[in-house]
Amino acid sequence: MPSEMSPSMTAEDDIATTAYVSTVTEDSITEFGSSIPILSLSHDETLRININPCLDSAKVQQVQELLTEFQDILTSLPGLTTTIHHVIRLSTNEIIRIKPYPLPFATQEFLKTEISQLLSLGVIEHSTSPYCSPVVIVKK
């Protein structure tokens, strides 16, 4: 949950709080009569949440209460949903292939690790699509 920073603020101005996330063992959460599949987490994790320092103390307290209330579903792991299926309709039948950009060795290792993690979480899957687009790594 990134905080919005005004132009005069810096990253050091952010107030940080820690949210403790409990283990989620259910395969889905049912709310409003529909079942929402979620990732099963096998470990507890600690999230670092930045709260906008421009908020008054009542709003900060409200944010902290929301974080506590929903601590069982907050996670730093990427997720996915199977409740809807999205189809990308292309404007042309022409197959687009763009050559990969060269990456430094250290970045290649990072990319392999990230791809492995996303594959193991089920967020992405192997593809044999003829389409190809290069990966762009953006540092935080």
Domain termination residue (choose one: 86, 113, 129): 86
Distance (Å, whole) CA 28 – CA 40: 9
Report the alpha-carbon distance of residue 60 to residue 3 in Å, rounded.
Answer: 12
User: What pLDDT, on the 0 to 100 scale, is given for residue 71?
Assistant: 79
Same domain, 61 and 128: no
According to DSSP, residue 54 is labeled T
- One digit per residue, the tens of pLDDT, for the chain of length 140 reads 444 444 444 444 344 434 433 333 444 444 444 444 444 444 455 567 778 888 888 988 888 888 888 877 777 777 777 788 888 888 988 999 999 899 998 889 999 998 998 898 888 889 998 999 998 888 87
Domain stops at, among 62, 86, 110? 86
Q: Where are the beta strands (DSSP E) in the chain?
A: 15-21, 28-31, 34-37, 45-51
Residues 10, 53 within the same domain: yes
Q: Are residues 78 and 139 in the same domain?
A: no
pLDDT of amino acid 94: 92
Domain count, the chain: 2
Query: Rounded CA gap, 79 and 40, in Å?
Result: 10
Give Cβ neighbours of residue 116 (< 8 Å, ≥ 6 apart): none
CB 49 within 8 A of CB 94: no
Looking at the DSSP bridge assignments, the partners of residue 47 are 19
The verdict on 82 and 110 lying in the same domain is: no
Same domain for 75 and 27: yes
CA gap 81, 91 in Å, rounded: 26
pLDDT of residue 115: 92
Whether residue 75 is found in the same domain as residue 102? no
Give the start-end residues of each E strand in 25-122.
28-31, 34-37, 45-51
Q: Within a 10 A sphere around the Cβ of 53, how many other Cβ atoms?
A: 13
Indicate if 106 and 82 belong to the same structural domain. Answer: no
Q: Specify whether 109 is located in the same domain as 42.
A: no
Task: Check whether residue 70 and residue 102 sit in a common domain.
Answer: no
pLDDT of residue 5: 41
Same structural domain, 4 and 45: yes
Report CA-CA distances (Å) from 67 to 63, 77, 90: 6, 16, 40
Q: Give the residue from 86, 111, 130 where a domain finishes.
A: 86
Q: Helices marked H in 1-140 — which ranges?
A: 57-69, 105-121
Full domain range(s) for residue 100: 95-140
